[in-house]
Structure 1
């Protein structure tokens, strides 16, 4: 039974507008989420992306090939019912942001982190009016309460669909700042992804690449780029 997959039963997936939102229909019947909620999307482009995934299914439905549908399901079934809790979870990344914990040595890595990570913190300062504290080493250094409050407010302002995408931008990069940087188009998302992997790329330079680690990193990169596309289609 674990190998069972639903069969394609429809001929055409289409988009229908419903009270300012957009639904995906299969031969006129609306698609529902795993929790049986009507799958309604905030924008037509997002609904069209979801409909295209359903249209691309052949004999069997393979959720692995439907990232926009999966993200939309998560926004409706998971984020919508616990928006505040998800926002709090992500805002907490700002108190231990990847960009704030710097190497003690070697000097070349210390310099590279400063060169590549400081501009992102400078951008956050200009954009949100807060300056995150950086420290040498891994000992946790709490950020000022005013900084945490301001960044948390920004996270809580995101819509359910934006927050679903933002969850992946932050958790995959390990940085609230880089999550915002990707969402708000500070730089190309691929470049932001590379910024988040500065330490791993440094290790590869020193010891050579690990094929298994590189394969996993590529999967995460693709998920990060998808999250950015989903965020952009959310409004």
Structure 2
């Protein structure tokens, strides 16, 4: 368990260009091992969070620390399972499923989502099939194979961020577009809340999704920042 405050938090250069963090003379550890940071930027950000740790702060107030420790404690020991989760999100990607009996919404979906379907093919040579309805789509075998290889190329810290982004958006396509800086977090949120926003627009009853969308945007912002830090 972490103490409520640390008097001295320092970043220490380790072997092979890596870094560690000393907390009052003790190396920062996950449940099972010393935490090794791949670059100084991430180490400094985590050190900054830990240096500001006060009695009134919770673990949720330490977004980069929380994700770093999650990579060590949850992702690394369960990497195959995490990869499968990300793959399954890709194979049921929300961008590929269009609304039933809503031609006006279908027009918007085509306008907003189809460019990402085209982009993912151009950027990663991944061809996704699109269908109307919720019946499972069988994506091309070649696409499935390429997705598996792509997911496995990311290291544990990167896949920690990617899995969080994918879970929150229900879309690996949107996730990849964010980490490749094709779209912003705000644009990603608008894309994945497209149907809800349309319902608000067309309904006579007020449907308030603002709080949910704001919460998702906050998680996406933090996870994306974490990805960019770990991949420097």
TM-score normalised by length of structure 2: 0.92
Aligned residue number for residue 29 of structure 2: 32
Which residue of 151, 154, 168 maps to 2:150? Answer: 154
- Mapped contact 1:5–1:61 kept (Cα < 8 A): no
Q: What CA distance in whole angstroms lies between the structure 2 residues aligned with 1:146 and 1:36?
A: 38
Q: What CA distance in whole angstroms lies between the structure 1 residues aligned with 2:47 and 2:161?
A: 19
SS in 1 for 2:10: strand
**Larger deviation, residues 123-132 vs 202-211:** 202-211
- Mapped contact 2:178–2:224 kept (Cα < 8 A): yes
Matched, 1:188 2:209: no
Which residue of 83, 91, 99 maps to 2:79? Answer: 83
Q: 1:111-143 CA distances to partner (integer Å, 9 max, x unpaired)?
A: 000000001111100011121010011111211
- Deviation, 1:62, is 2.0
SS in 2 for 1:40: coil
Q: In structure 2, list runs of 5 or more residues that go unmatched.
A: none
TM-score normalised by length of structure 1: 0.91
Instruction: Show the 5 A alignment for 1:163-182.
Output: 163-182=159-178
Query: Cα RMSD (Å) of the superposition?
Result: 1.8
- Mapped contact 1:128–1:151 kept (Cα < 8 A): no
- Deviation, 1:234, is 0.8
SS in 1 for 2:182: coil
Aligned residue number for residue 117 of structure 1: 113
- Mapped contact 2:158–2:227 kept (Cα < 8 A): yes
The size of the alignment, in residue pairs, is 229
Q: In structure 1, list runs of 5 or more residues that go unmatched.
A: none
Aligned residue number for residue 4 of structure 2: 7
- Mapped contact 2:90–2:172 kept (Cα < 8 A): yes
Q: What CA distance in whole angstroms lies between the structure 2 residues aligned with 1:119 and 1:203?
A: 22
Aligned residue number for residue 101 of structure 1: 97
Which residue of 214, 221, 224 maps to 1:218? Answer: 214
Matched, 1:22 2:13: no
